[in-house]
Amino acid sequence: MEPRLDVTLEFLKALAANNNLDWFHAHRADYDRARAAFELLVEELILKFNRYEDLGGVQPRDCMFRINRDVRFSPDKSPYKINMSAVISRGGRKSPRGAYYLHFQPGASFIAGGIYIPDAERLLKIRRAIDADAAALRRILKNAAFKKTFGGLDDEEMLKTAPKGFAPDHPALDLLRQKHFTATVSLTDQEIVAPGFSKRVVQTFRALQPLNDWLNAALGV
């Protein structure tokens, strides 16, 4: 039986309109049902994607993020996230490896993956791998399944010039200027509740897998 993901989306929509402690406590049972449906999906994705990539026995609890927000340093004191999300990867949400990320938020859901906000050391490793053999990464980005699914790498945040230590006329400057190495595809609410959604997610992960394999090799993880 497929998880009732409509229950998850309905709860998140109501939470967005009532993001306070009293409402959440009064609707705790609704939250438990919504989270259970999402957890069932994550469990199914682990089982199915493990056929293509060794996930090292990861469990849904290792992959899923908490609903509570850390408001200590934020001007927004809303206590709860208005999304549910998970990283399907060996090591789960704390994995250093390329991520397979699923994000549920009514009207703003998506699947994404790769390496987001790498620290300076990891970013340098990726850039050195590009410098050594950019053609390998370009082949992945030009792959038909990747292009059809994602279009290309996310490019909303890039350096304006060449990174330090790399020539300003480097032939792979477009790749070296990337701050993140991620790819994203949006999901509609209708797609999420459609039959066979988990199969759709696994197909998307599969299109992303060559990029993550390249990134993992570049990082040595």
pTM: 0.95
Q: What is the pLDDT of residues 114-137, one digit of tens each?
A: 999 999 999 999 999 999 999 999
Residues 32-50, mean pLDDT to the nearest whole number: 98
Exposure pattern of 59-85 as b/e (b: 16+ CB <10 Å)? ebebbbeebeeeeeeeeeeeebbbbbb
| Cβ neighbours, 10 Å, residue 114 | 23
Query: pLDDT averaged over the chain?
Result: 97
Residue 73, H or E segment: none
209: left (phi over 0), alpha (psi -120 to 50) or beta: alpha
Residues 24-45, mean pLDDT to the nearest whole number: 98
Q: What is the pLDDT of residues 92-113, one digit of tens each?
A: 999 999 999 999 999 999 999 9
Q: What is the pLDDT of residues 56-97, one digit of tens each?
A: 999 999 999 999 999 888 899 999 999 999 999 999 999 999
Radius of gyration of the chain (CA): 19
Query: Where are the domains positioned within the chain?
Result: 5-219
In this predicted structure, what is the pLDDT of residue 125? 98
In this predicted structure, what is the pLDDT of residue 157? 85
Predicted confidence band at 1 (pLDDT cuts at 50, 70, 90)? low
Q: What is the pLDDT of residues 147-175, one digit of tens each?
A: 999 999 998 889 999 999 999 999 999 99
